[in-house]
Structure 1
């Protein structure tokens, strides 16, 4: 059975997307702004993901200075017709390593046009704005994206690190396809955002789906059930996310072919109501 039949799909811009994607952040030494640990291995992981049926790849400017766009183009161009590249932007990095929102929409336009060049694309299928800048009204920032949509440089518009109120305001000016926020078994603060996304048929992409490795640990809160089920803790964490909502689209990152295959296999793990309750209790705070 192919991956879409195994994990289900979520429609973005009229195209069905596998509910388990691939992120690029973990391909760097620190998981943030840096060059890939191994460009050759990263390319193999990208190609293997496509072969396994994954058709959502998550790229963020905070993962590297255009290295990933260049690497993805070298590994996958010409792209499969069903592949959805999600590019996240809207931040600038200071010399001290701090991230700040772009000061005005014209900076965002330049970021998008630069990424188009590196990715060898005429249009970014899905562009996610990485939070709203305090330097311009939300209407102006969304307006820049809708302008670029009309120009054919952006397909769908997404948002990351926003509140429900900000999402609702943005929805007044554009159709929002996806939102992204930190979300996993031990951090569910974004539950209201997820519920809103599900209600409005907006894809929800959980950032840090494995809680920076905490949920993947053999000594972590999921270890006992994982041993009992004959799976890995990481697979349980991903299976729980997929069960949580039909709008959930995890994009775990890895630089390991085996970990990639393990992650994809998580879609085949059924969870009973009793097991979900046990997982909830095992990760509940004090």
Structure 2
């Protein structure tokens, strides 16, 4: 039986199956009302970890979550990401990890989320044009100022994680990872060794898991969906794994959350482990 909870940085307890808010429409109208309902339903179902980012709508996703959930339940963690900025006439997103930019983005996130401190803030991507030590140093200073509780990274290699750790403690890593895509297994291994939370995104291979015959077979054996099998596999694969599947549909949300109660047998897990050549 896998544990349902994890303590990020050793003290911030969340249920391991979270919710990614990226797909929630934020424009006014029926779609926005549905997004508000989905966010509220996630909390009703016991989700205590919700992931957003400045990049998701240029902050509108953060504002949506605040409208839906503020004042936040005491046990709820809303984590956001910074480190990209819109540039040029087309408003294209570009990496920007300059300390002054990061400081401004944190202040704006606090305002949009209606909080005085972001308990977990992640650098959305490392900016190669800015020394990593400067980026991490800025986040460390923001933590010392009380605006950040804990610091995380996204889409990093083992070497980048190690370099960042030389400047500040890293509480989480958010990398692309799922049953059929385990490129970042070495990063997950380091996180597991050191108790760092690993928040996989693209958790169900954009819905492609069901196309795999083995996944479909295990789902049929358990009277579950392929998506649920993929999420259950993630939860059982590592104790530091905190999947954050996203959806804008209530039915899919409920399907995802129910995956936390799905138990794979040792034989089923071995069959799934072999899909990406991982023993």
Partner secondary structure for residue 241 of structure 1: helix
Specify the alignment match of 1:99 in structure 2: 93
Specify the alignment match of 1:225 in structure 2: 218
Q: How far is the alpha carbon of 1:78 from its aligned partner?
A: 0.7
Does the 8 A contact of 1:235 with 1:263 survive in 2? yes
- In 1, Cα distance between equivalents of 2:271 and 2:39: 34
- In 1, Cα distance between equivalents of 2:236 and 2:92: 35
1:125/1:227 Cα in 2 relative to 1: closer, same or farther (>3 Å)?
A: same
- In 2, Cα distance between equivalents of 1:228 and 1:195: 30
Does the 8 A contact of 1:6 with 1:267 survive in 2? no
Q: How far is the alpha carbon of 1:258 from its aligned partner?
A: 1.7
Q: How far is the alpha carbon of 1:135 from its aligned partner?
A: 2.2
Does the 8 A contact of 1:7 with 1:267 survive in 2? no
Specify the alignment match of 1:177 in structure 2: 171
Specify the alignment match of 2:66 in structure 1: 73
Partner secondary structure for residue 23 of structure 2: helix
Does the 8 A contact of 2:53 with 2:62 survive in 1? no
Q: How far is the alpha carbon of 1:274 from its aligned partner?
A: 1.1
Superposition CA RMSD, Å: 2.0
Specify the alignment match of 1:279 in structure 2: 272
TM-score for both structures, normalised by structure 1: 0.90
Specify the alignment match of 1:120 in structure 2: 114
- In 1, Cα distance between equivalents of 2:91 and 2:269: 40
Does the 8 A contact of 2:54 with 2:62 survive in 1? no
Specify the alignment match of 1:191 in structure 2: 185
Q: How far is the alpha carbon of 1:134 from its aligned partner?
A: 1.8
Does the alignment pair 1:243 with 2:236?
A: yes
Does the 8 A contact of 1:129 with 1:159 survive in 2? yes
Q: How far is the alpha carbon of 1:282 from its aligned partner?
A: 4.6
Does the alignment pair 1:56 with 2:64?
A: no
- In 1, Cα distance between equivalents of 2:97 and 2:228: 40
